[in-house]
Chain A
């Protein structure tokens, strides 16, 4: 068995059944091995698409996503996807071909120092230097990607190692590494929760990553502590729970942001006090003691000094800190805020109001539909107005905010979950950033649904230009967009355009009922903004709101 066949074998041993990638010179031996089958390869039309498909695959399932690229330009094209996975803590493995060992460092054809490039955008990276290393490195890569705080790992494999003989390697048995909880801290947490009058859960992406959604829901069920969530944690708490107020932060709900400012105990669960969440940091939850639960010790006291922290597995900690609460007045206040500041969908006129359309879609889409969002205003509208059953069903580039993420992520999610409905919600700007992935959809006949919200603008940037740059619309006007329905039809993807409210219901039905892929192109006013908005540098209670 040569090194390349060994890699395919090792992927199989790691239960990898599908990988995403793009071939080229230095990775040809691996593609030759893939040709024999065993692991299905999906050809994306750009390595960035392959990386984001791997992310979509990982996020929709909780499993590891794998992407493959050649050396040089193939590897550099992966970088944005790796950075995206790093900021959102997503377990993916990137395998890159490298020029043969003896040519490394000679500026050989398609040689780039990929290990050097990877340092800032992976959790860890390896360059394989001998056949003996290949097995142990692949095993370690999977372990590093999935344990502790997950993240992307890159393996750079020179071509001579792919074609040379391999060395057998037996997989070690993984041991469960749960630590014993610190009973003093558990008691302290419980007593802080018991004595708090206005406690609040600030729920982050770590809950889904730790597979601790059930434990969190149990905790909430028993303690009835009100909660808010980050963009990545949408789906952790059922949206109809009486004391759940939705997303917090720059485009968070008014109720969430006010509750944060008023709480006396903030319990941060798998969250990291990101600036888009906190607004002005020293005025975030100004009256609160903080309990911070996060697997990554480097997150503790990074931005907010906390009263108590625990870096254990959330699955263990959450059940252990359940405590009696006596917070009826606070619950009443929260429930009232939730009603008083509820979103409104009574928008005047015939033009389509995207928040209302997205709300409608959320109400009628099948259980376990996966929403993959792109980046911009439409992303925030999805977060504010849609709801999903679990965090794996809301896939949004949160930490990196990567335009072009939605369609390839939907490709990955659909491959991973062929029986669930997968909808990419994109904007006219973002859609064009990885539009080549329509080719992947066509090739594999993936039934991905695309909801394209077209304001003929780079809307999110346009909104900031309107509000903070005196309406100077520098390079954000896209009135020269292509005809999107025609574009999709070139990939055999049927579609339609709608422009008025009365068309919405039937068009959404056609989108959901289509057997194969479908593009619903929704034309909206260029003037719509995302509200509320906490302006940069302001505290979260200094929200700007719609004047309408």
Chain B
């Protein structure tokens, strides 16, 4: 099942590495990723589509534990993602 994740995190050089490692290790493949860092607030905004047989909450709870993560929002189901695309 595909899910769309919207993540806000404090800017740090290795944040994307941490995030992608957690996705892979917990059994999620990343289908697409977009990351932008605002210059003012030092916050990174990352949009991620991931795919797995596993329940998405298994991933979001792990992402929430990464130090520096400020917020994680999820949109599940292929249809929802298409609808918002």
A240 at the interface (CB under 8 A from B): no
Give Cα A123 to B21, complex, Å.
13
- Inter-subunit contact B14/A297 (CB<8 Å): no
Q: Can you identify 28 A-B contacts, CB atoms within 8 angstroms?
A: A115-B14, A116-B14, A116-B17, A119-B14, A119-B17, A119-B18, A119-B21, A120-B21, A120-B25, A123-B67, A124-B67, A127-B13, A127-B14, A144-B67, A296-B65, A297-B61, A297-B64, A298-B58, A298-B61, A298-B62, A298-B64, A298-B65, A300-B61, A301-B55, A301-B57, A301-B58, A302-B58, A302-B61
Chain B residues with a Cβ under 8 A of chain A:
13-14, 17-18, 21, 25, 55, 57-58, 61-62, 64-65, 67
B46 to chain A, nearest CB (A): 17
CB contacts (< 8 Å) of A124 on chain B: these are 67
Mark interface residues in A105-146 (1 if CB within 8 Å of B CB, else 0).
Answer: 000000000011001100110010000000000000000100
- Bound-state CA distance A301–B65 (Å) is 16
Number of A-B contacts (CB under 8 A): 28
Given contacts A116-B14, A300-B61, A301-B58, 19 further A-B contacts (CB under 8 A): A115-B14, A116-B17, A119-B14, A119-B17, A119-B18, A119-B21, A120-B21, A120-B25, A127-B13, A127-B14, A296-B65, A297-B61, A297-B64, A298-B58, A298-B61, A298-B65, A301-B55, A301-B57, A302-B58
Q: Which 3 A-B pairs have the closest CB atoms?
A: A298-B61, A124-B67, A119-B21
Chain A residues whose CB sits within 8 angstroms of the CB of B17 once the complex forms: 116, 119
Residues of A within 8 A of B58 (CB): 298, 301-302
Nearest chain A residue, comparing its CB with the CB of B21: A119
Distance between Cα atoms of A119 and B18 in the complex (Å):
7
1/0 contact string of A489-530 vs chain B (CB within 8 Å): 000000000000000000000000000000000000000000
Q: How far is the CA of A384 from the CA of B58 in the complex (A)?
A: 33
Question: Which B residue's beta carbon lies closest to that of A120?
Answer: B21
A91 to chain B, nearest CB (A): 15
- Whole-angstrom distance between the Cβ of A460 and the nearest chain B Cβ: 27
B65: nearest chain-A partner, CB-CB: A298
Query: Roughly how many angstroms separate A513 CA and B65 CA in the complex, as a whole number?
Result: 48
Q: How far is the CA of A144 from the CA of B64 in the complex (A)?
A: 14
Question: Whose C-beta in chain A lies nearest to the C-beta of B57?
Answer: A301
Select from chain A the residue with minimum beta-carbon distance to B55.
Answer: A301
